[in-house]
Amino acid sequence: MKEMVCIVCPRGCHLTVDDNMNVTGNSCPRGAKYAISELTHPTRMVTSTVRISNRDNMVASVKTSEAIDKSKMFDVIKAVNKMSVKAPCHVGDILIKNIFDTGVDILITKDVE
């Protein structure tokens, strides 16, 4: 039996999942879907920052375009930390396309002129 807190909405339901993947404690169907996904294939959005090479002490925020496999999180962060980008850059610019063949891009989320 596993216990977890649902993070899909602010309600924070306390979920219990038995050995047969029956979920209890959820107030909506999204909680059950989250619990099963979390136990079978956990994914996360990754957010970080990247250095702006032609600006002193400036960074731009970045994120994954979709959630990635949780096991790849730290590899993605290491790859982003090794990079820098030149200004100007804009929200939605792709910093890394298809990172580690996941089909997920790393996107700039801050305009820097």
pLDDT at 27: 92
SS3 66: coil
CB-based burial, 24-44: b 16+ in 10 Å, e otherwise: ebbeeeebbebbeebeeeebe
36-54 tens-digit pLDDT: 999 999 999 999 999 999 9
- Tell me the domains of the chain and their CATH numbers: 2-40 (no CATH), 44-108 (3.10.530.10)
Helices (H), the chain: 29-40, 73-81
CA separation for the pair 68, 104 (Å, rounded): 7
pLDDT at 60: 94
Residues of the chain scoring pLDDT < 70: none
pLDDT at 56: 87
84-85 and 47-52 beta bridge pairing: parallel
Q: What is the DSSP string of 18-44?
A: -TT--EES-SSHHHHHHHHHHHHS-EE
Selection from 19, 3, 105, 23 nearest residue 62 by Cα: 105
pLDDT at 44: 92
